[in-house]
């Protein structure tokens, strides 16, 4: 391929790996696979081998790979308008904002390109809101600025998002971090309340910690966070970058808990495979942003928003949230059954089709064994495997994944 492009059916896997190793910054521990095609729950590598994909780009391809409705929406919009500056209006962005507002109950949306950017916007919005509420520059006392976040959390790799992340391994070598962020243990109401000083302007939590090992918030904890924010005049912000849009068995994970946040961040599944993030907020909170306070060149790109509309159409029309709840229960029951037969399988945690299982040996080695058997899952931490199937998966595919995991454990 003299022009260096990768063409379907003509991919030289060795060449792709060589080019990557030579020219792409070494920020990932890449697996040896060169993936060239996807369809539904399956992907194919350059050697023609097929894999059951229960990673889905880390919860990105929630409606499966190359869904015809999403690809048609992308192609149609690309033929009309590929990009327009946010100095102007565009129909896909406006329609997607209205849909998200209706579904979430939060009236305003800021569009960006990723979950990290959505969380950066949330951090800026919280501090700007607190500053404005305190009377801006005329405030007599210190403006509340502290954001409480959870230990073991993950909110992204940009500076603000990394500083919000409650895992030191992601922050090593990058000090000083953004100040005014305090981490508290997840699901410890007393610790959360003790950290709630007058300087606190917001709390940011993942309803289910994904990168932290698939640990859900308890109902008591999230409701206590809502109550404390109301009592102390702070914002409750939820990072649903991974849990949002049907993944947990409801459109948004917060709907399991009987609360509504003030700010909500989304990305991953929203663009159906394209880079699209969003920060949603209540009307009176969103008013803290005015022209010049925040922006994104590519945020709300027409093609990405067209894909997002197609994703929401599928989620609503096919009740993929309900499907995730049912398939998630099937997956959890299968893992529990496997645990009764195999002592290597430990605790099973999760919500809907976001499931983690503890393994009594190195999780990355078990994930590699699964890959050899034709199943893609990923390790989070030393001893946890994470399952993120597409919401369009079938019962048979869930059962196959369980069978392949069992084979991988026996093989090891």
Distance of alpha carbon 366 from alpha carbon 346, whole angstroms: 14
Element (H or E) spanning 357, and its range? strand 354-359
What are the angstrom distances between the C-alpha of 180 and each of 116, 164, 222, 241?
Answer: 18, 10, 22, 23
Exactly one of 154, 196, 254, 289 is catalytic; which is it?
154
- Residue 110 among the catalytic residues: no
Please pick, among 53, 111, 196, 268, the residue that the annotation labels catalytic.
268
Query: What angle, 0 to 180 degrees and rounded to 10, lies between the N-to-C axes of helices 363-373 and 395-411?
Result: 120
DSSP-assigned letters across all residues of 226-253: HHHHHHHT-EEEEE-TTTTTTTTSSSSG
| Continuous segment of H or E residues that includes residue 351 | strand 345-351
- 268 given a catalytic annotation: yes
154 part of the active site = yes
Q: What's the CA gap between 247 and 244, in Å, rounded?
A: 6
Report how far residue 354's alpha carbon sits from residue 364's, in angstroms, rounded to the nearest whole number: 18
Element (H, E) at 264: strand 263-266
Alpha-carbon 156 to chain mean position:
10
The residues, ordered by sequence, that sit 6+ positions from 223 with a Cβ below 8 Å of its Cβ are 257, 258, 259
Tell me which of 111, 196, 239, 358 is the catalytic residue.
239
Active-site residues: which are they? Answer: 154, 239, 268
């Amino acid at each position: 391929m003299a022009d260096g492009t990768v063409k379907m059916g003509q991919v030289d896997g060795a060449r792709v790996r060589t080019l990557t190793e030579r020219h792409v910054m070494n920020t990932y521990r890449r697996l040896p696979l060169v993936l060239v095609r996807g369809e539904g729950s399956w992907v194919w590598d350059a050697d023609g081998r097929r894999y059951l994909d229960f990673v889905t780009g880390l919860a990105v391809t929630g409606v499966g790979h190359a869904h015809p409705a999403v690809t048609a929406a992308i192609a149609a919009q690309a033929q009309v308008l590929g990009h327009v500056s946010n100095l102007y209006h565009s129909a896909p962005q406006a329609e997607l904002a209205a849909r998200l507002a209706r579904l979430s109950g939060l009236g305003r949306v800021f569009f960006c390109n990723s979950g990290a950017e959505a969380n950066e916007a949330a951090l800026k919005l919280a501090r700007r809101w607190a500053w404005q509420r305190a009377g801006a520059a005329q405030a007599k006392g210190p403006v509340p600025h502290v954001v409480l976040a959870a230990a073991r959390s993950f909110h992204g790799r940009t500076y603000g998002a990394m500083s919000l992340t409650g895992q030191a391994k992601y922050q090593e070598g990058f000090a000083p971090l953004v100040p005014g962020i305090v981490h508290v243990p997840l699901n410890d109401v007393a610790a959360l309340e003790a950290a709630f000083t007058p300087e606190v302007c917001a709390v940011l939590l993942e309803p289910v910690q994904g990168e932290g090992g698939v640990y859900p918030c308890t109902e008591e904890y999230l409701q206590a966070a809502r109550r404390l924010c109301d009592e102390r005049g702070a914002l409750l912000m939820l990072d649903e970058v991974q849990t949002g849009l049907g993944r947990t068995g409801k459109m948004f994970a917060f709907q399991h808990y009987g609360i509504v946040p003030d700010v909500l961040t989304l990305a991953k599944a929203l663009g159906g495979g394209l880079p699209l993030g969003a920060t949603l907020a209540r009307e009176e909170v969103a008013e803290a942003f005015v022209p010049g306070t925040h922006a994104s060149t590519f945020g709300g790109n027409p093609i990405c928003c067209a894909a997002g509309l197609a994703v929401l159409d599928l989620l609503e029309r096919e009740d993929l949230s309900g499907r995730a709840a049912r398939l998630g229960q099937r997956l959890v029951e299968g893992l529990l059954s496997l645990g009764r037969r195999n002592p290597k399988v430990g605790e099973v945690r999760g919500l809907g089709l976001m499931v983690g299982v503890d393994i009594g040996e190195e999780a990355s080695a078990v994930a590699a064994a699964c890959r050899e058997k034709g199943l893609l899952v990923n390790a989070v931490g030393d001893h946890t495997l994470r399952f993120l199937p597409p919401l369009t998966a079938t019962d048979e595919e869930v059962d196959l994944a369980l069978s392949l995991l069992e084979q991988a454990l026996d093989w090891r």
